[in-house]
Amino acid sequence: MNNQIPNVTLNNGVKIPQLGLGVFLVKDANELKQSIKWALAADYRHIDTAMIYENETAVGEAIKESNLDRKDLFITSKLWNSDHGYEETKAAFNASLKRLGVDYLDMYLIHWPSPNYIESWKAMEELYHAGKIRAIGVSNFQIHHLEDLMAHTDVVPVVNQIETHPYFQQKGLHDFMAKHNIAHEAWGPLGQGKGNVLNDPTLTELAKKHTKSTAQIILRWHVQRDEIVIPKSIHENRIQQNRDIFDFSLSDEEMAKIAAIDKNQRGSRSPDDTEWLEKTAKK
């Protein structure tokens, strides 16, 4: 079996590597740059950051130091809640470009469905049509947010980046997105250390059977659900291990076993927490 990282073709024809490196909570610039260096050495070409992570500058420095051709990299960043609005979105986008030291983004996402996301999306559509962003999408949107967005705008999101792991499989949202050709991108794909998913007996049994780690079994499950995954790590061996998931496959029976352990157990904030969304939207 080919062990190369495959691409997923988004609904606008842009190709995104199915596996990327997430950099959430990595604040130390040297630690971040080292993890990106290891990831690039392991053939990762997709890096996912956000304004609120406070590490776009370090990501940009790591990209520059890599000496890789910009067109060979796929860089995602995200619009924070307090930057929603038409003009505000354009200003926030340009600030992200400057911090990253690039002149376009491969993908830009609305981070959360906080107030005024439709105006933000209209600004992003304009930036997209101007060639400043190759693909635009959303993150943490529920079905009703996606329906609202699509009813009032012209460009269908290419992805919805949502919390997804074996204990929170998002089956209804997953099916809705597949129906509307919106790619499912999983954040926290290994459960973020919450809920003890890495010690689940079904998953550890499959890991033993395939002589893989439990994390590799989980990431392979995501991939076979046609999801894009962005596991975070600052450890060289885990970055490599997370990448080595394309040389084996899970059977339909094994996929069904993992489907059966879903607990609908969200480990992070709900996108329907309107009080928090409104609070974080304030300047």
> What pLDDT does residue 111 have?
97
Residue 56: CB partners within 8 Å, gap ≥ 6?
A: 49, 50, 77, 96, 99, 100
- Give percent above pLDDT 90 in the chain: 90
- What mean pLDDT is reported for the chain? 95
- Chain segment 57-73, per-residue pLDDT in tens: 999 999 999 989 999 99
Is 53 annotated as catalytic? yes
Percent residues over pLDDT 70 in the chain: 99
pTM: predicted TM-score of the whole model, two decimal places = 0.96
* pLDDT at site 2: 67
Catalytic residue among 53, 108, 128, 167: 53
Task: Quick: pLDDT tens for 189-204.
Answer: 999 777 789 999 999 9
